[in-house]
Structure 1
Amino acid sequence: MSKSIKLLAMFGFVAAVAACTSGQTEEEYVVVNPEPISVEPTYTGKYK
């Protein structure tokens, strides 16, 4: 019975270490806003 308890404790420890280290490897990403394809017309007057 002692060996089975040690085995379960070892598996629990390995699982805890694996869970803690997996959150530290976050990937960084950059969001880039694309340039507009065409420029919107501006108001220049009534008859221009």
Structure 2
Amino acid sequence: MSKSIQLLAMLGFVATLSACGGQQEEEYVVVDPEPVTAEPVYTGKYK
């Protein structure tokens, strides 16, 4: 291979590593929202 093709291939490889190598996955937390109103409670038939 000619030197220019080898140089272009090496630069492409280095660019790919620098673009993909330093990324870290972001950490996220999912919080369930609290209910706005309380659920009804059974108090008897006619209370």
TM-score by length of 2: 0.70
User: 2:36 matched to 1:33?
Assistant: no
Count of residue pairs brought into register by the alignment: 47
Q: CA deviation at 1:38?
A: 0.7
* CA distance in structure 2 between the aligned counterparts of 1:9 and 1:31, rounded to whole angstroms: 43
* Identical-pair percentage: 72
With 12-21 and 36-45 compared, the bigger mean Cα shift is at 12-21
5+ long unaligned stretches in structure 2: none
**Which residue does the alignment assign to 1:11?**
11
Q: CA deviation at 1:15?
A: 3.1
5+ long unaligned stretches in structure 1: none
CA RMSD of aligned residues (A): 2.1
TM-score by length of 1: 0.69
**Which residue does the alignment assign to 1:46?**
45
Moved over 6 A (4+): none
